[in-house]
Structure 1
Amino acid sequence: MIGEHVIVGYTHDAGGREALALGAAITRVTGGELTVASIYPPGSPGESVQAQAYLAEAGVALENVPSEFMAFESRGAGRGLGVLAGRIRADLIVVGSAGGGQHGRIALGSTAAHLLHLSPEAVMVAPSGYAPVGRSSRLTLAYVHRPQCDEAVGRVAQAALRLGVPLRLITFDLRTDDPERIRDDLALAVRLAWETTGIEAEAEVAEGHDVAAAMETATWLPGELLVCAASEDAQPHRVFIGELAMKMLRASSVPVTVLPRGFS
């Protein structure tokens, strides 16, 4: 299950603070380790000192949450977080939304965009204005009938069982496919979750003329997390977000996690 070791990409802005709050909330639920990282460019002593100052600021914000703090040199923040995650064996990278985006929605900056197309570990992005509300209330897996999603059903079902929260499998009817086939595929996914873990997953078909409209028709609970599988185009053990998942991410009002291909 993801969350055994969480690394937060901390920046001195609202997105960094929201990522910090989300990372801390995840480790409180999973009991995992929390590492807070500030990435600075090479050959910049002043930026290195500033990174340390930002980490001290993060430590104050976390109060009594057990954490480790690391300033790490890299040519890019996304690349640095990916490399650092591998070195410390983190299984989840948490980042915030870019500034200037719509409140309550996810806006991707360069760091998140890099990670969502190349990260070796699962990536979670907090929506703008995110604030923790206590324990997770539900895990929702965005389901499309393909091998990556079928694999994710069992993994996310196991996570829901371990966390003691409901599992919802949601798929989207964008009025371009056969609705009966969509529902049959979803029913098979519910059965797969049951056969894998014994958990009774909720099933929902969200309808709309596009992904954003369909997302609006679905109910999203406080404390809910949305999970997406990597695209079939992803390299093994890498995140690569597909077009549909990207549209869901941009329309989501809850944190979104994208799993790497071959996640285990």
Structure 2
Amino acid sequence: MIGAHVIVGYANDPGGRDALALSAAITRVTGGELTVATIYPPNSPGLAVEAQANLAHAAEELGPVPAEFITFESRGTGRGLAVLASRIRADLIVVGSADGGQHGRISIGSTADHLLHMSPEAVMLAPAGYLPPEEPARLTLAYVHRPQCDAAVEQVAQAALRLGVRLRLITLDLRTDDQGRLRDDLALAVRLAWESTGIEAEAEVAEGHDVAAALAGVEWLDGELLVCAASEDAQPHRVFLGELAMKVLRASPRPVAVLPRGFG
């Protein structure tokens, strides 16, 4: 289960504070380590000092929450977080929504875009203005019948079992596929979750003319987390999201975790 060591990319802005709150909530539940990192560009002594000041703000925000604070030099924030995560053996990178996005939704900036196409570790994004509850409520997996999603069913079911929360599998019906086949595929995924963990997953087909409309008709609990599997085009042990999954991520009103190919 991800969350044994979480690294959060922090900047002293709304997205950075959202990500910090989410990462602290995750480690509170998992009992994992928390590393707060600010990335700054090479040959920029002024920005290096600013990075240290950012971490001082982060420490104030966290209060008594235990954490390690690191500044790291890199030509890009996403690249720096990915490299640093590998060095410290973090298993989850958390970032916030880019400035200017819709409240309650995820806006993908350059940092998130890099991580969603290159990260060696799972990536989680917080919607703008997200306030994490005290306890998790349910894990939802966006399911499509393909090997990466089938593997994710088992991994997410195991995480739900350990956390003691409900599991839901959602398939999108954008009125371009045979709904009977979609429901049959979903039933097989529910059976896979049961056979691997003994969890009886909820199953839902979300219908709409596009991804945003389909997800708008879905009930979302406080404390819910949406999980997406990497695309089949992803390199081994890398995150890579295709066009449809990107639309799901942008339409989600809850944090989204993206698993790398071969996770677990």
Fold conserved between structures, TM > 0.5: yes
Report deviation, 1:134.
1.1
Report deviation, 1:260.
0.2
Q: Does 1:77 align with 2:77?
A: yes
The CA distance in 2 between the partners of 1:160 and 1:237, in whole Å, is 22
> 1:176 aligns to what?
176
Q: What is the identity percentage for the equivalent residue pairs of Structure 1 and Structure 2?
A: 78
> 2:43 aligns to what?
43
Structure 2: gaps of 5 or more residues: none
The correspondence of residues 1-264 of structure 1 with structure 2, limited to 5 A, is 1-264=1-264
The CA distance in 2 between the partners of 1:101 and 1:46, in whole Å, is 28
The CA distance in 2 between the partners of 1:153 and 1:242, in whole Å, is 19
Report deviation, 1:244.
1.2
Report deviation, 1:12.
1.4
The CA distance in 1 between the partners of 2:233 and 2:168, in whole Å, is 25
Report deviation, 1:45.
1.1
Structure 1: gaps of 5 or more residues: none
AA partner of residue 82 (structure 1): A
Which secondary structure state, in structure 1, belongs to the residue aligned with residue 38 of structure 2?
A: strand
The CA distance in 2 between the partners of 1:20 and 1:12, in whole Å, is 10
The CA distance in 1 between the partners of 2:134 and 2:107, in whole Å, is 24
Over the aligned positions, Cα root-mean-square deviation in angstroms equals: 0.5
Which secondary structure state, in structure 2, belongs to the residue aligned with residue 83 of structure 1?
A: helix
AA partner of residue 232 (structure 2): E
The CA distance in 1 between the partners of 2:32 and 2:133, in whole Å, is 19
Report deviation, 1:43.
0.7
The CA distance in 2 between the partners of 1:24 and 1:133, in whole Å, is 11
Which secondary structure state, in structure 2, belongs to the residue aligned with residue 98 of structure 1?
A: coil
- Residues 163-182 of structure 1: per-residue CA shift (max 9 Å, x gap): 00000000011111110000
The CA distance in 1 between the partners of 2:73 and 2:249, in whole Å, is 29
The CA distance in 1 between the partners of 2:80 and 2:145, in whole Å, is 34
Which secondary structure state, in structure 2, belongs to the residue aligned with residue 116 of structure 1?
A: helix
Report deviation, 1:17.
0.2
The CA distance in 2 between the partners of 1:136 and 1:248, in whole Å, is 21
Report deviation, 1:243.
1.2
- Residues 232-252 of structure 1: per-residue CA shift (max 9 Å, x gap): 000000000111110000101
Report deviation, 1:63.
0.5
**TM-score in terms of structure 2 length:** 0.99
The CA distance in 1 between the partners of 2:250 and 2:132, in whole Å, is 20
The CA distance in 1 between the partners of 2:102 and 2:189, in whole Å, is 33
Report deviation, 1:129.
0.6
The CA distance in 2 between the partners of 1:219 and 1:65, in whole Å, is 32
AA partner of residue 9 (structure 1): G
The CA distance in 2 between the partners of 1:252 and 1:212, in whole Å, is 8
The CA distance in 2 between the partners of 1:60 and 1:28, in whole Å, is 17
- Residues 148-176 of structure 1: per-residue CA shift (max 9 Å, x gap): 00000000000000000000000011111
The CA distance in 1 between the partners of 2:109 and 2:243, in whole Å, is 17
AA partner of residue 58 (structure 1): A
